[in-house]
Amino acid sequence: MRWLLGWALALRLPGLPPLEPSGDPRPAVLIPARNEAATLPHLLAGLARQRLSPLEVIVIDDHSSDGTAACASAAGQALGLPVRVIQPPPLPEGWCGKTWALHHGVLASSGDPLVFLDADTEPEPDCLTRLLGVHGQLGGLVSVQPYHRTEQPYEQLSVLFNLVGLMAVPLGSGCGVAFGPAMVSSRADYARSGGHAAVAGRVVEDWFLAHCYERAGLPVSAFIGAGQIAYRMYPGGLGDLVVGFDKNFATAAGEVRWPWMLAVLLWLSGLFWAAWCLPAALLHWPLVGDPGLAANAVLYGAHALQLLVLTRRVGRFRWINLVFPLPVLFFLGVFLLAIVNLERGEIRWKGRRCRTR
């Protein structure tokens, strides 16, 4: 039953509908960037290929130390893209770097609607068109969770964080959930919600921004980005991967509605059990239930197959699904670390202290 529950949870992963925008939208694309010289060229090249060209592209250089500003200017010039680089004032008390950067990006922009893209995103040529088309129909805040493109073996360990993060929330029109890597809003709705000033000190600003829109009586919709927008998360190594998911996971977990959390925990408990049973049967470890190798091999194989199928639209996770006890251990370790840091109240990210409460 828990295995079947996994299929049911994954049925609710709607992709971004192929809608065309009405009228003549003149979007402003706002990109917060702190030490993103390696990732920005991919995003800017993707924006240059868009079927719907943005009115302006504003890169907000969040006091980088790696030449992010020069890289953005040079890439924009080479691509013929209307890129403008700004730098906000020094980060004040009570703000996170990303919220401060985007707040100033909106102030410096003139386009409408506002499109917020993380510096590591990689949009396909129809991405802006679909985003604006869906936003034109639904209004409020529309966001997309990018497809997770992996390259190095350690990146595969994040498979459960990606899958659980989508299983644990409702998605689609009016779901009340927002994903920060790719969001769009009209300028009027952004102002009505309070914008990033209303979530100034939030590490997971997208979740709380969604609440602000809902309190203002505005719809919040979210979709998955397979085939439309991707990103490569934490290419800086295993340490960045651990801290990055640690930073987001404990805070976000407290925001998940309890029926969804209960369903996901039930599915995870079955996955964890399957991860234990086959090694236990092979190595004669303590095991409650059928100790037979054949039965536990079938159980293990069923969960490996399920992960292979369910993750196809979430990210590029292949061989890791066949040895899923490894990401299970990684998931548990990072989750426990996240609880410790949540209790401690802060974590360091990109050279800054971030509050987790």
Residue 57 domain flag: yes
List pLDDT tens digits, range 251-286. 665 566 777 788 989 999 999 999 988 888 888 777
Residue 195 domain flag: yes
Give the Cα separation of 329 and 331 in Å (integer). 5
Residues 117 and 224 reside in one and the same domain = yes
What's 34's domain CATH number? Answer: 3.90.550.10
List pLDDT tens digits, range 59-70. 999 999 999 999
Residues 175 and 31 reside in one and the same domain = yes
Q: With 70 as the cut, is the pLDDT of residue 156 above it?
A: yes
CA distances from 117 to 64, 123, 224, 231, 312 (A): 18, 9, 15, 11, 23
pLDDT of residue 351: 63
Alpha helices in the chain (DSSP H): 2-10, 40-48, 68-79, 97-108, 127-138, 159-167, 187-193, 205-215, 238-253, 258-283, 293-310, 325-344
CA distances from 36 to 69, 75, 134, 233, 262 (A): 9, 13, 29, 12, 37
Range of the domain at 315: 2-8+254-355
Q: Is the pTM of this model over 0.85?
A: yes
Residue 145 domain flag: yes
Residues 52 and 112 reside in one and the same domain = yes
Residue 247 domain flag: no
Residue 242 domain flag: no
Give the Cα separation of 108 and 88 in Å (integer). 10
pLDDT of residue 240: 82
223 strand-pairing partners: 144
pLDDT of residue 12: 81
CA 66-68-70 angle, to 5 degrees, is 110
Q: With 80 as the cut, is the pLDDT of residue 249 above it?
A: no
Q: Give the mean model confidence (pLDDT) for residues 301-323.
A: 95
Give the Cα separation of 228 and 18 in Å (integer). 10
Q: With 80 as the cut, is the pLDDT of residue 290 above it?
A: no
Quick check: 304 and 322 in contact, CB under 8 A?
yes
Q: Give the mean model confidence (pLDDT) for residues 280-303.
A: 84
Into how many domains does the chain fold? 2
Residues 167 and 276 reside in one and the same domain = no
pLDDT of residue 340: 77
Quick check: 33 and 59 in contact, CB under 8 A?
yes
Beta strands 56-61 and 83-86, pairing class: parallel
Give the HSE-up count for residue 211: Cα atoms under 13 Å, Cβ half-sphere.
11
Residue 311 domain flag: yes
Beta strands 352-355 and 346-349, pairing class: antiparallel
Residues 72 and 182 reside in one and the same domain = yes
Q: With 90 as the cut, is the pLDDT of residue 346 above it?
A: no
141 strand-pairing partners: 185, 220
Residues 51 and 193 reside in one and the same domain = yes
pLDDT of residue 168: 87
Q: With 70 as the cut, is the pLDDT of residue 356 above it?
A: no
List pLDDT tens digits, range 172-193. 999 999 999 999 999 999 999 9
pLDDT of residue 327: 94
CA 271-252-227 angle, to 5 degrees, is 70
List pLDDT tens digits, range 158-176. 999 999 989 988 899 999 9
Q: Looking at 187, 209, 236, which one is the last position of a domain?
A: 236
Give the Cα separation of 337 and 357 in Å (integer). 15
Residue 245 domain flag: no
Residues 310 and 338 reside in one and the same domain = yes
Q: Give the mean model confidence (pLDDT) for residues 136-150.
A: 97
Tell me the pLDDT band of 100, cut-offs 50, 70 and 90: very high
